[in-house]
Amino acid sequence: MFAWFLFPSVMKTDLELALECAINIYHQYAIRNPMDDYLSRNEFSMLLKENAKPFLSDTYIKQLFAKSDSNHDGRLKFTEFLTTLSLVAIDAHNRSHKQPGDHGHDHGDGHSHGHGHSQHH
Ligand SMILES: [Ca+2]
C-alpha cells in the first residue's frame, strides 16, 4: 500500500489553491514577452485585464504597477506581484464592506486616521 505516498497533498485548502493559482497566473504572463520571470508593464496590464474585473481602468492599473514596482526597474518580480495582489485584495475587501449609498471616506490605503480627536503631541 504505497498509494497514499503518491498523493500526499490531494486535499488542498482553498487558500493553497488560491496561492497556487496566483503563482500559475504570474508565470503564464511573465513568460510572454519578453520571456523571463518578470512581468513587464504590458504583461501586467494583460494579466489584470484578462483576469480581473472590468472596473480596472488603465489609470488604476498604472497606479498599481507604480505602487508594486518597489525597486523601480519597470518590471515586477514575483514578490512585487504579491504586493499587487495584496493591494487588489485590500481593495476588494473594502468594496465588500461598502454600504450602498455610502461614498466611503477612506480610499483603502490603510491610512485610517481614526476619528481625529485626542492624541496630539
Ligand atoms: Ca521591479
Task: Report yes or no: 46 and 32 within 8 Å, Cβ to Cβ.
Answer: yes
Grid cell for residue 81: 506581484
Distance, CA 22 to ligand 1 centroid (Å)? 18
Identify the structural domains of the chain with CATH numbers, from first to last: 14-94 (1.10.238.10)
What are the DSSP E strand ranges found in 4-114? 39-40, 75-76
Please count the other Cβ atoms lying within 10 Å of the Cβ belonging to residue 23.
13
Per-residue pLDDT tens over the stretch 17-46: 989 999 999 999 999 988 999 999 999 999
Distance, CA 89 to ligand 1 centroid (Å)? 20
Residue 106 has pLDDT above 60, yes or no: no
Per-residue pLDDT tens over the stretch 75-91: 999 999 999 999 988 98
Distance, CA 63 to ligand 1 centroid (Å)? 14
Q: Cα(40)–Cα(14) distance, rounded to whole angstroms?
A: 29
Residue 110 has pLDDT above 70, yes or no: no
Residue 52 has pLDDT above 90, yes or no: no
Query: Which residues are CB-neighbours of 40 under 8 A, at least 6 positions away?
Result: 33, 34, 74, 75
Residue type, 69: D
Distance, CA 12 to ligand 1 centroid (Å)? 31
Task: Report yes or no: 84 and 76 within 8 Å, Cβ to Cβ.
Answer: yes
Residue 58: strand, helix, or coil: helix
